[in-house]
Amino acid sequence: MQAESTGHISGVKDTLFSIKKTLNIKGKLVCITQPMIMGIINTSPDSFFPGSRRQSVDGVLEMAAEMIGSGADILDIGGYSTRPGAEDISLDEELSRVIPPIAAISKTYPECIISIDTFRSAVAENALGAGASLINDISGGQLDENMFRTVSRLKVPYILMHMKGNPRTMKLMSEYDNLFKEIAVYFNNRISELHNLGVNDIILDVGFGFAKKIGQNYELLRNLSYFNIFGLPLLAGVSRKSMIYKTLHLTADKAMNGTTVLNTIALLKKASILRVHDVREATETITLLKRGNFDILN
């Protein structure tokens, strides 16, 4: 089924669709004139890559300074580990992990765009009150029925990711009759819901590693530009994931080179945002592709 789908998708021209290139962030129009970089900061103690973990406010501020200095356009703060099999935590615990760091970053770097990585609307709302201006929801609104209404009411950009199940069950939910069709239908339905609520600033994330097998992840990456049919910015989040380190028989801490390779492919497939652990390397990748006049977002 997927081989037939791929054959059809490969005929889609990268330049056929006009991609939305503006986001309204706190009343300011941000133009995506070139690929943006989102730096990952995890305040959970059990995220899959230890190098992204910072559990003190001072540690978060130190990492934020390094990322901003290396070219990060957005900082993505998350306190709930979404690695496969991750344990659930309470709402109060998640709030205690993310609100103080977000408030500190917002105070220290007031021009920084901060994203809150959560599927809980209450966490999102509190984070926005503390200084965040973007919601990154791995569940696409499936794990909290109030999320879409919260996004609409607060008038903030929303990253809509594809996932089935939850972090504890998603590994068991990687079977698809037609991978691309199911993800496209998922996006179409949720985009319609958001539009009906007046939400127009939407970014799509196909969810590499979330309810997908390694081969499915590569099929999605190879055909990422297919999702330009929605005319919305695409976020690619492959950084140090198992699709890299398991393929290369490594560990996440040794997956930097593989990450750069796949980020390069994502950019050539018209990704608008790279979500990464290693900001400097992502910045260099974009600089080199621009210098070589490669066909990336422009």
The two three-digit tokens of residue 55, written as one number: 């559990």
Asked if 84 contacts 115 with a C-beta cutoff of 8 angstroms, the reply is no
Minimal CA–CA distance to 116: which of 80, 152, 65? 80
CA distances from 278 to 83, 122, 213 (A): 18, 29, 24
Q: What angle do CA 279, 280, 286 make, to 5 degrees?
A: 90
Asked if 205 contacts 237 with a C-beta cutoff of 8 angstroms, the reply is yes
Positive or negative torsion for Cα 263, 50, 42, 106:
negative
**Which positions are catalytic?**
241, 275
Distance CA 253, CA 231 (A): 35
Backbone angles phi, psi at 251, to 5 degrees: -120, 165
Distance CA 93, CA 115 (A): 18
